[in-house]
Amino acid sequence: MKVALMGFPLSGRTMLFDALSGGHARDGVASIPIPDPRFEQLARQAGAKKITPAAFEWRDDLPDFNPDKPETARQPLSLARQSDALVCVLRAFDSPYAPYHAPIDPARDLRFWLDEFVLSDLQVIENRLERLTKLFQSHKESAADRAEHALLRQMHAALSAGESLAAFEIPSDLESRLRGFGFLTRKPRVVVANIGESLLGGEARSEMLASLQAVCDAHGLPMMSLCATFERDLRQLPDSEQAEFLQMMGVAEPALPRLARLVYEQLHLQVFYTIGDDSRAWLLRKGGTALDAAATIHSDLARGFIRAEVCHADEVLAAGGWKAAHKAGKVQLVGKEYVMRDGEVIYVRFNV
């Protein structure tokens, strides 16, 4: 899953990326594990020699642009379409080195992004409608082309009325045709207010953040605040010193795991596990079946799928391991249509 960080220059976007990646990134891209203590317990219990947690691919490789010239946002917005989720980083701290707007106003900056998402999606739809119109003129269109044209006109009307496409229902037979457009207003989006250290522990008292929260609520967007500089400095400390630093700053816990959980929730994901010498955590959309899980692991498993053995991780841990869970009758034998639950361990029986 690819998560793109978006933000104006000097918003602290890259500082946040450095905090997330621990400074270990390549060309603005870093694969960062999703915190999962349950998986760590499973892997230890199984005596795993290789442990691979589920991870997000965080990206800070979108080109910068001049916020006073909205047309320069076209390239980064186009690249953002390739991501699965967007995290909008907004400056909510004072700095002499970030003077492009005065006064500081993250709510205004968020409205800029939301407007650009709408305009960008409108442009994509208009371009596609133009191509479809030319196809109609040649009388070579199919019924699917006509259906797509009608749907895109409805989407265009919704965007023109100031609505996003987040709740827009797309018929299943047209889903694959429209997936490649990567509509920005349909993507899961998370808003991050990058505050100064002086606000740590007292964000609720900030009128500025209250105004931003109102905009987020109006658009159904989840919001959280953090201090990217603090998170980066915390990440650089030895584990033994982090708790003391958090207490000194009046902060209950690091914000980065909370950010990862929030993105995870917005993507409507769940996790499942394969355990053994090579133990792995895998991501699957909620509602995914045992066959979908098999395909996530390897296409051969899906192609030759026979049955799957599943058991929830909590039951495996409580039983003392996979074999013990089998003996206790906790493991189910299921077919390809079985809907996976979050946190299940799976073993796929297959024959290719």
pLDDT one-digit tens code per residue, 262-293:
999 999 999 999 999 999 999 999 999 999 99
pTM reported for the whole predicted model: 0.89
pLDDT at 98: 61
CATH number at residue 97: 3.40.50.300
Q: What single letter denotes the amino acid at residue 233?
A: D
- What is 4-55 written as a DSSP string? EEE--TTSSHHHHHHHHHTT--BTTEEEEEPP-HHHHHHHHHHT-SEEE--E
Distance CA 4, CA 323 (A): 41
Looking at the domain assignment, is residue 42 inside a domain?
no
CATH number at residue 136: 1.10.150.300
Residues 20 and 67 in one domain: yes
Q: What is the pLDDT of residues 75-84, one digit of tens each?
A: 889 899 999 9
Q: Which of 61-75, 222-236, 314-328 has the lowest mean pLDDT?
A: 61-75
Residues 28 and 131 in one domain: no
The answer to whether residues 304 and 350 touch, using CB atoms and an 8 Å cutoff, is: yes
Residue with tokens 């841990």: 317
Q: Which residues contact 163 (CB under 8 A, 6 or more apart)?
A: none
Q: Which residues contact 249 (CB under 8 A, 6 or more apart)?
A: 197, 200, 201, 230
Distance CA 303, CA 248 (A): 55
Q: What is the pLDDT of residues 83-136, one digit of tens each?
A: 999 999 999 987 766 655 567 899 999 999 999 999 999 999 999 999 999 999
CATH number at residue 336: 3.10.20.30
Percent of the chain with pLDDT over 90: 73
The answer to whether residues 118 and 164 touch, using CB atoms and an 8 Å cutoff, is: yes
Q: What is the pLDDT of residues 34-52, one digit of tens each?
A: 989 999 999 999 999 999 9
Into how many domains does the chain fold? 3
pLDDT at 108: 92
Sign of CA dihedral 183, 85, 17, 226: positive
Looking at the domain assignment, is residue 272 inside a domain?
no
The answer to whether residues 92 and 209 touch, using CB atoms and an 8 Å cutoff, is: yes
Distance CA 151, CA 177 (A): 11
**In a 3-state reduction of DSSP, which class is residue 64?**
coil
Q: Which residues contact 176 (CB under 8 A, 6 or more apart)?
A: none
Reference 128, options 49, 66, 182; nearest CA is: 182
Per-residue pLDDT band at 204 (split at 50, 70, 90): very low
Domain that holds residue 140: 118-185
Residues 230 and 210 in one domain: yes
Checking if the pLDDT of 203 tops 60, the result is: no
Please give the mean pLDDT across all residues of the chain: 91
pLDDT at 133: 93
Residues 168 and 102 in one domain: no
CA angle 301-307-310, nearest 5°? 95
Distance CA 176, CA 174 (A): 6
pLDDT at 154: 95
Looking at the domain assignment, is residue 43 inside a domain?
no
- The DSSP call for residue 207 is H
Looking at the domain assignment, is residue 262 inside a domain?
yes
Residues 251 and 338 in one domain: no
Q: Which residues contact 239 (CB under 8 A, 6 or more apart)?
A: none
Residues 236 and 327 in one domain: no
Q: Which of 76-85, 192-201, 321-330, 338-347 has the lowest mean pLDDT?
A: 192-201
Q: What is the pLDDT of residues 15-29, one digit of tens each?
A: 999 999 987 888 899
Q: What is the pLDDT of residues 129-188, one digit of tens each?
A: 999 999 999 888 899 999 999 999 999 999 999 888 988 888 888 988 999 999 999 999
pLDDT at 202: 61
| Partner residues linked to 349 by β-bridges | 307
Checking if the pLDDT of 205 tops 60, the result is: no
Percent of the chain with pLDDT over 70: 96
